[in-house]
Amino acid sequence: MIDQDCPEAQPGPIVIIGVGRERCMDDSVGLAVVRQLEAEGLPDSVTVEEVRACGMELVPALEGGAGAIIIAALDIGEEPGTVRVFTPGDLEDGTVLLADNLRRPSLGDVLELAAMTDLAPEVTIIAIQPGEIAPGYEMTEAVQGAVAEAAEQVRSLLGGKCV
31 vs 12, residue with greater confidence: 31
Q: Is the pLDDT of residue 15 over 60?
A: yes
- The phi, psi pair for 141, rounded to 5°, reads -60, -45
124 vs 1, residue with greater confidence: 124
Per the structure, the complete domain to which residue 61 belongs is given by 14-159
pLDDT of residue 133: 83
pLDDT tens for 28-39 read: 999 999 999 999
Cβ-Cβ contacts under 8 Å for 39 (sequence gap 6 or more): none
Q: Is residue 43 part of a domain?
A: yes
Confidence at 86, pLDDT banded by 50, 70, 90: confident
Q: Provide the 10 A C-beta neighbour count for residue 3.
A: 11
pLDDT of residue 138: 92
pLDDT of residue 129: 94
Mean pLDDT of the chain: 77
Q: Hey, which bits of the chain come out as E strands?
A: 14-19, 46-51, 67-75, 83-86, 97-98, 122-128
Q: Is residue 138 part of a domain?
A: yes
pLDDT tens for 46-76 read: 999 898 865 566 776 777 678 889 899 988 8
Q: Is residue 8 part of a domain?
A: no
pLDDT of residue 18: 92
Q: Is residue 136 part of a domain?
A: yes
Q: Is 7 helix (H, G, I), strand (E, B) or coil?
A: coil
Supply angle C-alpha 128, 130, 134, rounded to 5: 140
Say if residues 19 and 125 touch (Cβ distance below 8 Å): no
Count the domains in the chain.
1
Q: Is the pLDDT of residue 101 over 50?
A: no
Q: Is residue 37 part of a domain?
A: yes
Domain of 49: which CATH number? Answer: 3.40.50.1450
pLDDT of residue 65: 74
